[in-house]
Structure 1
Amino acid sequence: MNVTQLQAQLIEYAQSIGVDKIGFTTAAPFHELKNRLRRQQQLGFQSGFEESDIELRTEPLRLLDEAESIIAIALAYPSRMENAPQGKKGERRGIFCRASWGIDYHTAVRERLQLIEAWLIEHVPNVKTKSMVDTGELVDRAVAERAGIGWVGKNCSIITPEFGSYVYLGEVMTNIPFAPTTPIEDDCGDCNLCIDVCPTGAIVAPGQLNSQRCIAFLTQTKGFLPDEFRAKIGNRLYGCDTCQTVCPKNKGKLNWIHDEFTPDPEIAKPLLRPLLTISNKEFKAKFGHVSGSWRGKKPIQRNAILALAHFKEESAMPDLIDLLQKDDRPVIRGTAAWTIGKIGAANAEKVLMKALEVEKDEEVLAEIQKGLALLQ
């Protein structure tokens, strides 16, 4: 079988295992990307979650020395939830971003990549492969763009004509010289909606993101959330979809394709108060299968506390007082203190003054003072 026939059969096979889009590119270095990443590093715009070695991120041959081509795949995920529960006074809810609905996409994409690798091994003697999704060295979006999956929008997401930007990406490097797919032309035009509405101004220029200001990144951090972002987080527990929901290219893209990504409304939009007292075991049982749980419960709890401040939810005061007085984690105690001040219930000052007398941690003491200042 020649490479052209093999490629046609692989495309057919990929569709049969639930791959929504497949493209091919060479294993040539990503020169332009290398310059962009260096610039990001110099500006301090990186999140710190990505591979730090820029050479590894931009030179496929360093990862698979005989690589000839890269197979890029995309799986579409839903943009809307059916029967989404509505939060109300006394029963406020938080929200996980769409990329954390249903099963962890790392698992779903990796399964497809492994099937593709197994298929190649079966059909080609001495084939070499290496696959990755999100946490690998290569930049998924750069590979997807060059392989014709979509173009990189001004919001830094890959935008596909078929599914908008609601796609998960992954890739397989191989020593088979597949014919490259023609890249798709940028179709953002004059639209700047994503830049204009970003809550924190994280999209500093078309296609350039300051990760340190991005809410999707901030919700995953474990320390105190910087003051300037606390009011901007709203009721987001994990991730942020604002730059996607406003994108005209996402209009009407429901993507109800894969059952595994259908969200459980009680997990995707959970009640906030139960999150404040959830045990590690309960958290793992309820949220362990979604990608938004990867940092553990602490960031989610901190964000839930801030969401209660956003709603000024007085019914949560007993829980917040309990956290302030008894939780052994300074970030949780301090965030609770700030939130108590923000809610401003009748007993807030008394509670915070009492905490001021017994608290030993410097950062928590500073948060108590901020809470008291909010009451003025």
Structure 2
Amino acid sequence: MQIDALKQKIIAAKTSLGIDKIGFTTAAPFRHLAAGLKMQKAKEYTSGFEHQVLAQRLYPQRIFDHPQSIIAIALAYPSKLPFKVPHDRQQPRGRFARASWGLDYHQILRDKMQQLINFIKANIDVEAHFKAMVDTGELIDVAVAQRAGLGFIGRNGLLITQEFGSFVYLGEIITDIPFTPDQPMANQCGTCTRCIDRCPSQALLGNGHLNAQRCLSYQTQTKGIMAAEFRPKIRNVIYGCDVCQLVCPFNRGKAVDGHVQMQPQLDEAAPKLKQLLTISNQEFREQFGQLAGAWRGKKPLQRNAIIVLANLGDRSAIPLLLKLSEQDVRPIIRATAIWALAKLAKDNKTAIVAFLKQCQQVENDAQVQQSLQAALKRIRGKELNSHKIS
């Protein structure tokens, strides 16, 4: 079969394969990205989750023998919950960002790309080779997708498609089949800066790059103590951040349903916070193990859940926070629970101060001791302010 005919056959089959958008580009280097990537690294704007070998991110020939083309695919994911989240003051819920709803998108994309590879092999009479990857691979997904004509890269660094806005998962396949490339799509943001203006942590640089260290999505995925600056900014979200997507005009009216495997369940997309803090490892794996948002394990999500309880002002969580502050074996959880106690302390400040001073006598972790000192200072500051007001 001729290559152009094969390409058209692939395009015609994308819907039956469960692929929402597909495009083709060359395997030429992505040299134009080098300066920006070097700048981000030099300024320590990277997250550390990226592939670490710069040349392999820019040159497909460094990771594949004789590459000729790259096939880019996009799968649309749900942009709205199909149910109303119950409001219960005694059992407040946190939120996972949309990209973590349903089955882990890495698995979904890998399955779709393998189906695509099998389809191509079944429709070509010569030997061909393929290398599939999602966002844990070497290449930069949005750069490949943009060059393959799937959409344009917005000021927030996300790929924006005409049909689905930025609510898409991306994957790519390098191959030695020389497909005719599609036309790249130019940026269409114009003078709009809504994503930059509304970013809670001012992480966006304005040119499609970001300071990943400041991005709230990154902050929710770290394993250490979250810096005090970012704690109120995550509001009720325990994983990820959707703000730069929600304010984007290209996402207005995009009520994307996504695929069956991506459909969220209530207690996964919006889990009960106090229940999350008492869940066993086995229960965590059973309830959240299939989510992309569970990749860092239970501890970061529990740390975030404590922060969200404080952000919501849930004083009914104080008994649980007292227990975590004293008994949890993980210093990060103890330190965060102590911070939350200080934020929630009100009529019971005297009792909480006594408890924190008792913790000081037995605590042997330096970070937790710092949290104890900061908590006591905060409560005393509240007391001084209350006296001034009265």
- TM (normalized to structure 2)? 0.95
| Deviation readout 1:144-192 (Å, 9 max, x if unpaired) | 0100011000011000010000000000111111011111221111110
1:136 equivalent to 2:140? Answer no
Structure 1 position 353, deviation (Å): 1.6
Structure 1 position 337, deviation (Å): 0.5
Structure 1 position 204, deviation (Å): 2.1
State the match for 1:10 in structure 2: 10
State the match for 1:187 in structure 2: 188
**1:219 counterpart SS class:** helix
CA shift in 2, pair 1:42/1:295, >3 Å: same
**1:228 counterpart SS class:** coil
State the match for 1:360 in structure 2: 364
State the match for 1:161 in structure 2: 162
State the match for 1:273 in structure 2: 274
Structure 1 position 350, deviation (Å): 2.1
Which stretch of structure 1 is more off in the superposition, 215-224 or 9-18?
Answer: 9-18
**1:25 counterpart SS class:** strand
**How high is the sequence identity, in percent, across the aligned residues?**
46
**2:264 counterpart SS class:** coil
Of residues 373, 379, 385, the one that matches 1:369 is: 373
| Deviation readout 1:174-215 (Å, 9 max, x if unpaired) | 111101111122111111000001000000223120000000
Map residues 89-108 of structure 1 onto 2, 5 A cutoff.
89-108=89-108
Q: Distance in 1 between matches of 2:82 and 2:28?
A: 43
Q: Which runs of 5+ in 2 are unaligned?
A: 382-390
**2:70 counterpart SS class:** strand
* Runs of 4+, deviation exceeding 3 Å: none
Q: Which amino acid aligns with 1:79?
A: S
State the match for 2:322 in structure 1: 321
Q: Which runs of 5+ in 1 are unaligned?
A: none
Q: Distance in 1 between matches of 2:159 and 2:89?
A: 38
Contact 2:81/2:264 (CA < 8 Å) preserved in 1?
yes
Over aligned residues, Cα RMSD in angstroms? 1.0
State the match for 2:293 in structure 1: 292
Q: Which amino acid aligns with 1:49?
A: F
Contact 2:75/2:258 (CA < 8 Å) preserved in 1?
no
Q: Distance in 2 between matches of 1:127 and 1:51?
A: 26
**2:234 counterpart SS class:** coil
CA shift in 2, pair 1:257/1:337, >3 Å: closer
Q: Which amino acid aligns with 1:107?
A: Q
Contact 1:195/1:206 (CA < 8 Å) preserved in 2?
no
Contact 2:194/2:248 (CA < 8 Å) preserved in 1?
yes
| Deviation readout 1:20-74 (Å, 9 max, x if unpaired) | 0000000000011122111111111110001011100010011112110000000
Which stretch of structure 1 is more off in the superposition, 84-93 or 263-272?
Answer: 84-93
- TM (normalized to structure 1)? 0.98
State the match for 1:223 in structure 2: 224
Q: Distance in 2 between matches of 1:351 and 1:247?
A: 46
Structure 1 position 89, deviation (Å): 2.3
Contact 1:325/1:333 (CA < 8 Å) preserved in 2?
yes
Map residues 331-370 of structure 1 onto 2, 5 A cutoff.
331-345=332-346, 346=348, 347-370=351-374
| Deviation readout 1:250-287 (Å, 9 max, x if unpaired) | 01111114111111022101111011111111000000
| Deviation readout 1:112-151 (Å, 9 max, x if unpaired) | 1111111222223210110001100000010001000110
